[in-house]
């Protein structure tokens, strides 16, 4: 079930951005010491994969709720707009009720399983492991700035700032993806408003009930898309990732300049400390954002 919700979110992000260009954590059950000793500690890759699935599942539920909300509105309007009677009238009526029940069920599921807190906690554990080596090397070099220790810090710092998988590239790609989704959402908003305006003018002349699709359903769907993006905090994420990428690029310039000017240990360690602090600050910003990302009815 969790993987299904995760797939829904990934599908939404991939499809929207392309327009413009089973897990448990600390459930409270105590195990005996023998079992605990036999379980190997999870690696960063384990926790990172788990947190990704949990996060995508939680946000995927939000995508499903927004989709079902659109179905509810359409089912409520369609019988009047298309003058359905008999069996079709009952089909849309039942669909509307079922969709409402599903929305309530999804909200209950997300709340009962504590997906958000599991996601936040697992991601926090993963990020601690991601930067554990960085922290240890940095603390050791600051305490004893030998050539060996400083060189280790330099290499570790550059690993976070260079290459296809570095934090600069990661944050730039994320910012681009979320900006693309926001851009296409804005374009859809203007397009939807234009259709609604045409429908409103047409309704003044013809009084066709079918124009309710343009004047009521289309604006509601555009509102649902913007509401969904607001729930996903895509605008905030875009700004945060862009800001972090710029900060890391500035730190990288300072670090490279320090290396060119003779590899001064104090300046190199100071630049590395700023990189480490920036990465930790981004994690704290993310936690605050997730705390505001709440699934609810309506």
Confidence band, pLDDT 50/70/90 cuts, at residue 228: confident
| Residue 142 in this model has a pLDDT that exceeds 70 | yes
Torsion over CA: 235, 11, 194, 77 (sign): negative
32-52 pLDDT per residue, tens:
444 444 557 888 889 999 999
Confidence band, pLDDT 50/70/90 cuts, at residue 74: very high
Mean pLDDT for 85-106 is 95
| Residue 76 in this model has a pLDDT that exceeds 90 | yes
| Residue 14 in this model has a pLDDT that exceeds 80 | no
> How far is 243 from 279, CA to CA, in rounded Å?
11
234-245 pLDDT per residue, tens:
898 899 999 999
pLDDT of residue 20: 57
Looking at per-residue pLDDT, the higher value among 14 and 114 belongs to: 114
Confidence band, pLDDT 50/70/90 cuts, at residue 24: very low
Residue 76 contacts residue 96 (beta carbons within 8 Å):
yes
> How far is 71 from 65, CA to CA, in rounded Å?
10
272-296 pLDDT per residue, tens:
999 999 998 888 888 888 877 777 6
Looking at per-residue pLDDT, the higher value among 21 and 12 belongs to: 12
Count of other CB atoms within 10 angstroms of residue 295: 18
> How far is 142 from 140, CA to CA, in rounded Å?
6
| Residue 31 in this model has a pLDDT that exceeds 60 | no
| Residue 6 in this model has a pLDDT that exceeds 80 | no
């Amino acid at each position: 079930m969790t993987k299904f919700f995760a797939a829904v979110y990934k599908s939404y992000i991939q499809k929207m951005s392309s327009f413009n260009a089973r897990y448990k954590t600390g459930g409270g059950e105590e195990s005996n010491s023998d079992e605990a000793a036999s379980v190997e500690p999870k690696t960063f890759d384990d926790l990172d994969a788990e947190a990704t699935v949990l996060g995508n599942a939680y946000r995927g539920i939000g995508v499903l709720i927004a989709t079902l909300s659109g179905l509810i509105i359409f089912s409520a309007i369609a019988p009047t707009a298309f003058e359905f009677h008999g069996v079709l009238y009952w089909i849309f009526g039942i669909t509307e009720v079922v969709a409402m029940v599903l929305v309530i069920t999804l909200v209950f599921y997300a709340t009962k399983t504590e997906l958000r807190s599991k996601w936040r906690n697992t991601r926090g554990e993963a990020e601690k492991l991601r930067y554990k080596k960085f922290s240890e090397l940095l603390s050791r070099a600051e305490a004893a700035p030998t050539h060996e220790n400083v060189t280790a810090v330099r290499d570790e710092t550059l690993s976070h700032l260079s290459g296809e998988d570095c934090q600069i590239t990661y944050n730039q790609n994320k910012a681009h993806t979320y900006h693309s989704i926001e851009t296409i959402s804005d374009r859809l908003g203007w397009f939807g408003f234009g259709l609604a305006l045409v429908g409103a003018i047409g309704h003044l002349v013809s009084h066709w009930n079918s124009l309710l699709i343009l004047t009521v359903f289309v604006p509601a769907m555009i509102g649902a898309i913007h509401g969904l993006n607001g729930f996903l905090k895509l605008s905030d994420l875009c700004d945060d990732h862009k800001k972090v990428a710029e900060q890391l690029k500035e730190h990288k310039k300072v670090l490279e300049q320090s290396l060119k000017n003779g590899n001064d240990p104090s300046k190199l360690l100071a630049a590395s400390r700023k990189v480490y602090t920036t990465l930790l600050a981004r994690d704290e910003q993310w936690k605050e954002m997730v705390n505001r990302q709440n699934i609810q009815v309506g």
